[in-house]
Amino acid sequence: MSDIVTVENMCLWYGEHQALKNITIKIPQKSITAFIGPSGCGKSTFLKSLNRMNDLIQGVKITGDVKYNGKNIYDPSVDVNELRREIGMVFQKPNPFPMSIYDNIAYGPRTHGIRNKAKLDEIVEQSLKDAAIWEEVKDRLKKNALGLSGGQQQRICIARALAVKPKVLLMDEPTSALDPISTSKIEELTVKLKEEYTIIIVTHNMQQAVRISDQTAFFLLGELVEYGNTETLFSTPKDQRTEDYITGRFG
């Protein structure tokens, strides 16, 4: 299996504060990679640096290599908007736009120049089906997306991200604001999506990491402590700190 995202010796600073230290990681395509670690260890920061969402924050400095399909994404020649189309993102708190469900899903394709109504209809339907929410909303596509439940909103956001046909989907604790039923729906969905997409998911829930991910990366204080096959990492961790964390012995 080939690696779609490779990071080498990457460091990141918020002003004076170093949030990531010498991260080196290779992420294989069409698999699920989970990032775990205590709060504040830099999981979200690392995730956002993979599609340059950190560009929006002032005073961020990055060194090292972050490559997507072999190309350094921080190279000046890279079109950030195109990069974010290929590496989509789902946020911790569902954030559908205050417009109709249809317009939410069509937002990305329209942004990238698709105007044809029939084509948009098709994309919207397919994306909603892929996000396992078509049946629930097909009769009210023109209704405002903010009228949906939290779990539904999050699946709308997933559908919205899928609508631009990304290759990689970054998910930052996508289920932390949701109830157990919505959570398991999204977990099932994620597993199904890995047939076509590369998924990188931040989670605080270790059972979730075990249930769905192929690889797991454990972060601590801005360092990548251990990275490997999920089963191996959870059954026979190599690093003492990993063991402490996954057995709950951690401060």
Partner 1 sequence: MQEGKISKRRRMYEALMKAAMWISVACTCALVAFLILYVLVKGLPHISWSFLSGKPSYLSGNIGILPDILNTVYIVLAALLVVLPLGVGAAIYLTEYAGNKQVVGVIEYAAETLSGIPSIIYGLVGMLFFCQFLNMKTSLLAGALTLVIMNLPTVMRTTQESLKTVPWSYREGAFGLGAGKWRMIRTVVLPGCVDGVITGCILSVGRILGESAALLFTAGFAHALHGIVNGLSSSGATLTVALYVYAKEQGEFEVAFAIAAILMVLTLVINLSAVWVGRVFEKRRRI
For residue 41, the minimal CB distance to ligand ATP (Å) is 4
Buried b (16+ CB within 10 A) or exposed e, 133-161: bbebbeeebeeebeebeebbbbbbbbbbb
End-to-end CA, the chain: 37
Site residues (CB under 8 A) for partner 1, limited to 87-126: 88-89, 91, 93, 95-99, 107-108, 111-112
Site string for partner 1, 26-65 (x = CB under 8 A): -------------------------x-x--x-x-------
Residue linked to tokens 């996954």: 246
Which stretches of the chain are DSSP H helices? 43-49, 80-86, 101-111, 117-130, 134-137, 150-162, 180-193, 206-212, 230-235, 240-246
Q: Is 93 a binder of ligand ATP (CB under 6 A)?
A: no
Q: Tell me the closest approach of the beta carbon of residue 43 to ligand ATP, in angstroms.
A: 4
Q: Which residue, 39 or 207, is less far from ligand ATP as judged by CB?
A: 39
Task: Confirm or reject binding of residue 200 to partner 1 (CB under 8 A).
Answer: no
Burial class (CB in 10 A: 0-12, 13-18, 19+), 201: buried
Binding map of ligand ATP across residues 39-78, x = CB under 6 A, - = no contact: xxxxxxx-----------x---------------------
- Other CB atoms within a 10 A radius of the CB of residue 122 amount to 12
Least Cβ distance, residue 39 to ligand ATP (angstroms): 3
The span of 38-46, 120-128, 150-158, 160-168 binding ligand ATP (CB under 6 A) equals: 38-46
Element at 63 (helix H, strand E):
strand 60-68
Which parts of this chain interact with partner 1 (CB under 8 A)?
A: 51, 53, 56, 58, 81-85, 88-89, 91, 93, 95-99, 107-108, 111-112, 144, 146-147, 157, 160-161, 164
